[in-house]
Structure 1
Amino acid sequence: MSYKSDRPSFQDRLDHFVNVIRTEIVNGIRQEGTYLPAESTLAKQFQLSNKSIRKGLDQLVDEGLIVKIDRVGSMVTTRAKETITLNFGCSLSLTTDFLIDELITLYMQRNPGIRVRRITLNHLSYVKSGEEMIANGLLDVVAFNSPQFQEWTEEGLTPLLEPLTPDPALYPIAEEAFQFDGATYAKPVSFSPVVLCYNKRHFADAGLHEPDSYWTWDDLIDASVKLAKLRDRHGIYFLPASENRYPVFLLQGIGNPPVGSEVNPRMMEGLRKLNELIGNREVFPNYWAQGNDETIQLFAEGQVSVILCTYFNLNELAHLPLDYDICPLPSLRRGDPQKTLLLSIGMSLVRHSKSKEAARQFVEFLSSSTAQNLIRDRTISIPARKEAAERPPIDGLKCPSRYAMFREMLPSFAYHSDIGLPMKSLRILSKWLKEYWSDMITEKTLHENMGELFAAGGKSSNPPTKSTVQ
Structure 2
Amino acid sequence: MRRDNEFRYSRLANMLREQIVSGYIKPGQFLLSENELCKYYGMSRTSVRKSLEQLHKEGLIVKKVGQGTIVSPDFVPSPGEKRTLRILATSPSHYVDNCLGTIIEAFQARYPQIDVKLLHFPSFNFWDWQRTGAELGVRPDLVLVTDRSFAESDRLDPFIDLGDKLPDLLDGFYPRIVEPFRHEGVLRALPVTFSPVYLAYNPRLFRRFGVPEPYPGWSREQLIEAAGQLTRDEDGDGVTDLYGLSLSSFPSRWPVVALQNGVKFDATTSRESIVETLKLFRDVLHRKRIATLYQPYRSKINLHAFLREKAAMVLTTSIEIAGWRSEGMTFEAKVAPLPFGPVKSTLLVANAFMIHKDSGDPELALEFLRIALDPGLQTELARDTGFMSCLPDVNAVVWNKRHLESLNITGRHIENGYFLHELFADSHRLDDLSGEMELFWAGLEQPEPLADRIYGILSGAT
- Report the 3-state secondary structure (helix = DSSP H, G, I; strand = E; otherwise coil) of the residue aligned with 1:84: strand
Q: Deviations over 1:176-215 (max 9, x none)?
A: 2312222211111001111112121222233322113423
| CA contact 2:257–2:340 (8 Å) conserved in 1 | no
Quote the residue 2:335 is aligned against.
326
| CA contact 2:250–2:295 (8 Å) conserved in 1 | no
Q: Deviations over 1:69-122 (max 9, x none)?
A: xxxxxxx99953x62342423333145664212322332332234332222222
CA deviation after TM superposition for structure 1 residue 126, in Å: 2.5
**Structure 1 runs not aligned, ≥5 long:** 29-42, 54-75, 394-398, 457-462, 465-470
Quote the residue 1:306 is aligned against.
313
1:108-123 paired onto structure 2 within 5 Å: 108-123=108-123
The reply to whether residue 258 of structure 1 matches residue 266 of structure 2 is yes
Q: 1:229 to 1:241 in 2, by over 3 A?
A: closer
For residues 78 and 181 of structure 1, what CA distance do their matches in structure 2 show?
39
Quote the residue 2:62 is aligned against.
none
Identify the range of structure 1 (379-388 vs 359-368) with the bigger mean alpha-carbon deviation: 359-368
Quote the residue 1:147 is aligned against.
148
Q: Deviations over 1:392-425 (max 9, x none)?
A: 48xxxxx999477543482142222443452332
Q: Which of 157, 160, 177 is equivalent to 2:158?
A: 160
Quote the residue 1:425 is aligned against.
429
For residues 7 and 446 of structure 2, what CA distance do their matches in structure 1 show?
37
Quote the residue 1:241 is aligned against.
249
For residues 122 and 48 of structure 1, what CA distance do their matches in structure 2 show?
20
Residue type at the aligned position of 2:111: N
TM-score of the aligned structures, taking structure 1 as reference length = 0.73
Residue type at the aligned position of 1:447: A
Q: Which of 189, 202, 205 is equivalent to 2:205?
A: 202
Q: Deviations over 1:406-450 (max 9, x none)?
A: 434821422224434523321331121112223565545433432
- Report the 3-state secondary structure (helix = DSSP H, G, I; strand = E; otherwise coil) of the residue aligned with 1:235: coil
Quote the residue 1:62 is aligned against.
none
How many corresponding residue pairs? 405
Q: 1:305 to 1:440 in 2, by over 3 A?
A: closer
For residues 444 and 364 of structure 2, what CA distance do their matches in structure 1 show?
53
| CA contact 1:250–1:270 (8 Å) conserved in 2 | yes
1:94-109 paired onto structure 2 within 5 Å: 94-95=94-95, 98-109=98-109
1:7-22 paired onto structure 2 within 5 Å: 9-10=8-9, 12-16=11-15, 18-19=17-18, 22=21
| CA contact 2:226–2:244 (8 Å) conserved in 1 | no
| CA contact 1:331–1:339 (8 Å) conserved in 2 | no
| CA contact 2:9–2:50 (8 Å) conserved in 1 | no
The reply to whether residue 360 of structure 1 matches residue 366 of structure 2 is yes
Quote the residue 2:290 is aligned against.
283
**Structure 2 runs not aligned, ≥5 long:** 28-48, 59-76, 236-240
For residues 51 and 325 of structure 2, what CA distance do their matches in structure 1 show?
32
| CA contact 2:228–2:244 (8 Å) conserved in 1 | no
Q: 1:196 to 1:164 in 2, by over 3 A?
A: same
Q: 1:454 to 1:210 in 2, by over 3 A?
A: same
| CA contact 2:251–2:434 (8 Å) conserved in 1 | yes
Q: 1:46 to 1:97 in 2, by over 3 A?
A: closer
Residue type at the aligned position of 2:454: M
Residue type at the aligned position of 1:341: L
Residue type at the aligned position of 1:328: P
For residues 248 and 3 of structure 1, what CA distance do their matches in structure 2 show?
36
Q: Which of 274, 287, 292 is equivalent to 2:281?
A: 274
| CA root-mean-square deviation | 3.9
CA deviation after TM superposition for structure 1 residue 302, in Å: 2.4
TM-score of the aligned structures, taking structure 2 as reference length = 0.74
1:78-93 paired onto structure 2 within 5 Å: 80=81, 83-93=83-93
CA deviation after TM superposition for structure 1 residue 231, in Å: 2.8
